[in-house]
């Protein structure tokens, strides 16, 4: 614990790796702490078409591999460890993990957020093979196919309407008999000729041979189950899940100002604690994409460097 880093980054997704690249390139001693594997949600994405400059046949893993190498090339160190507690006040911040304790002059929190899952058999196996949690990312892959959207809130209905630009039919599956979305959003959805609604229903199982091609749906009132099978000519359909996101901020509760679990920052990624920044999906923001996460990380690292200069 003798070394005090200039920058400690929590999380090695696009935001964290971008921050590591910028901090390392600025000759700041940098440590990235990641609990599992680099990439966060994006490593589950089979194809990426909307990240500027991405290669043909780009995937989440290939993009993250290059980001990781870049950050390491510019000197960012990395440890795989789980954060248990943090002390963010004062000139030196302390991050307590399972396997060690680390100290830094600044901290960039890029721990990300994860979608709330359906929790049914087959969901994990078909993620990226028919199951998606991001319409902006994957809608184009379902051009002229049928897709199903799970959820009934604002995000679910808005994403379902977005999907009608690509899919030939979009069916919203909701566990209740009415939507939770704002009335203005509902009115637009009900007028959309490409949208349908499956009320009082939940998905119990997702199935297929390599790609998602069938699912078991249960009526929440009667308990009756039925199987929905993909059109024979299509051979597959999409299921987009929008039942909420869970920011990875439990360890920061009581330490930072949170809004529905997300960390509040200004446009420079600064939190209310001097020297503590947040970047990517973990913070309050309107768009959660790889490109915005990378931008957040770059801004946070530059601002961390300025903070250090001002406090030397």
Report the b/e string of 128-152 with b at 16+ CB within 10 A: bebbbbbbebbbebbeebbbbbbbb
Q: Which residue in 38, 81, 97, 137 is the catalytic one? A: 137
Catalytic annotation on 97? no
Residue in 38, 134, 281, 296 annotated catalytic: 134
Q: What are phi and psi of 133, to 5 degrees?
A: -120, 15
Nearest Cα residue to 86 out of 106, 62, 71: 106
* Greatest Cα-to-Cα distance within the chain, rounded to the nearest angstrom: 68
In angstroms, the CA 14 to CA 213 distance is: 31
In terms of phi and psi (left: phi > 0; alpha: psi -120 to 50; beta: otherwise), the region of 274 is beta
Burial code of 176-206, b = ≥16 C-beta within 10 A, e = fewer? eeebebeeebbeebeeeeebebbbebbbebb
Contact assessment for residue 211 and residue 238, using Cβ atoms and an 8 Å cutoff = no
Report residue 112 as tokens.
Answer: 């990300």
- Is 134 annotated as catalytic? yes
* Strands 101-109 vs 238-241: parallel, antiparallel or unpaired: unpaired
| 137 classed as catalytic | yes
Catalytic residue of the set 38, 138, 281, 296 = 138
Return the bridge partners of 172, or none.
Answer: 149, 197
First CA to last CA distance, the chain: 21
The catalytic residues are 134, 137-138
């Amino acid at each position: 614990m003798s070394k005090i880093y200039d920058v400690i980054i929590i999380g090695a997704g696009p935001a964290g790796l971008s921050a590591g690249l910028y901090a390392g390139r600025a000759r700041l001693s940098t440590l990235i702490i990641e609990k599992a594997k680099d990439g966060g949600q994006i490593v589950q994405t089979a194809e990426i078409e909307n990240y500027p400059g991405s290669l043909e046949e780009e995937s989440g893993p290939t993009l993250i591999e290059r980001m990781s190498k870049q950050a390491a090339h510019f000197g960012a160190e990395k440890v795989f460890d789980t954060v248990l507690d943090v002390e963010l006040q004062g000139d030196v911040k302390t991050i307590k993990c399972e396997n060690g304790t680390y100290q830094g002059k600044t901290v960039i929190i890029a721990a990300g957020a994860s979608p709330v899952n359906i929790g049914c058999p087959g969901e994990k196996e078909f993620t990226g093979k028919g199951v998606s949690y991001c319409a902006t990312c994957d809608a184009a892959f379902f051009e002229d196919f049928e897709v199903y959207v799970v959820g009934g809130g604002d995000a679910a209905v808005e994403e379902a309407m977005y999907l009608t630009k690509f899919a030939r039919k979009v069916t919203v599956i909701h566990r209740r008999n009415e939507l939770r979305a704002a009335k203005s959003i509902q009115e637009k959805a009900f007028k959309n000729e490409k949208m349908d609604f499956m009320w009082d229903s939940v998905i119990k199982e997702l199935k297929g041979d390599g790609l998602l091609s069938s699912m078991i749906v249960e009526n929440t009132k009667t308990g009756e189950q039925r199987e929905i099978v993909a059109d024979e000519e299509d051979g597959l359909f999409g299921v987009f899940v929008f039942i909420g996101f869970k920011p990875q901020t439990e360890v920061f509760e009581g330490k930072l100002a949170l809004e529905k679990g997300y960390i509040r920052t200004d446009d420079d990624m600064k939190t209310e604690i001097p020297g503590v920044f947040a970047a990517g999906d973990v913070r309050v923001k309107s768009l959660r994409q790889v490109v915005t996460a990378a931008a957040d990380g770059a801004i946070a690292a530059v601002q961390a460097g300025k903070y250090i200069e001002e406090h030397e």
